[in-house]
Amino acid sequence: MGAGKTTVGRAVARRLGRQFYDSDHEIEARTGVRIPVIFEHEGEDGFRQRETQTIDELTQRSGIVLATGGGAVLRAENREYIKSRGTVVYLRANPRDLWLRTRRDKNRPLLQTADPRARLEQLYQERDGLYRECATFIIETGRPSVNALVNMVLMQLEMAGIVPSNAALLPDASDATDAANATDGSQSAHGDAEAEQLRPDDVGATHAVDTGESISTAPVTPERDTFPR
């Protein structure tokens, strides 16, 4: 969490002309409530079950780019879905940078503890090996700009023959807007700027999935889920 997966994933999808999905946002759209509310009513197990169902459905679609939640790798079935159905890019960063980006975010249930930085360190230790297990490519992000990171992702996909060689074009105005939005503290912590507190010169780590080679840009309206209130 705090890696910039939504900002980077959306920009990659735009360059490729593909539909972008974020599994956390899909869950919120289907239930009609924010993720902390799901944790409050159903606990982490309840949320993870919804997450697995959502990832299963999304990874069966072709021609999309998917950003999963940071904890999706905890379930073996999720790891199997993303590994067998898509190309997985793990954007890797150190826990300190992730903490700097998430420390003011109240929409992350797992970080609502007395010591969120220590919690991030723990989660990193638990999950890094799982991310590596799933990854087709691992990109050590360091501190590049958003556009530079997007180009790095596209370059890896091009070199592997997964996307056309003309995919990594110069960024368009929308990419610049994404980068600017990521710095706007007035935006919600988990909405479109799940840009995840991402600054244009500071990118973190997670994994995104590019599923299929066909291009499909028509959005699919999710089925409405039920959620007790």
Q: How far apart are CA 102 and CA 84, in angstroms?
A: 31
Sheet bearing 19-22, strands edge to edge: 19-22, 64-67, 206-211, 87-92, 137-140
Q: Is 119 annotated as a binding residue?
A: no
Q: Is 63 annotated as a binding residue?
A: no
Q: Is 70 annotated as a binding residue?
A: yes
With residue 35 as reference, give the H or E element that holds it. helix 35-58
Q: Is 48 annotated as a binding residue?
A: yes
DSSP string, 80-142: HHHHHHSEEEEEE--HHHHHHHHTT-SS-GGG-SS-HHHHHHHHHHHHHHHHHHH-SEEEE--
Which pair of structure tokens corresponds to residue 81?
A: 């879905």
Q: Is 108 annotated as a binding residue?
A: yes
Other beta carbons less than 10 A from residue 101's beta carbon? 22
Q: Is 3 annotated as a binding residue?
A: yes
Q: Is 83 annotated as a binding residue?
A: no
Q: Is 24 annotated as a binding residue?
A: yes
Q: Is 211 annotated as a binding residue?
A: no
Other beta carbons less than 10 A from residue 82's beta carbon? 24
Q: Which residues are annotated as a binding site for Mg(2+)?
A: 6
Task: Give the annotated binding-site residues.
Answer: 2-7, 24, 48, 70, 108, 127
- Residue ranges for the binding site for ATP? 2-7, 108
Q: Known binding site for substrate: residues?
A: 24, 48, 70, 127
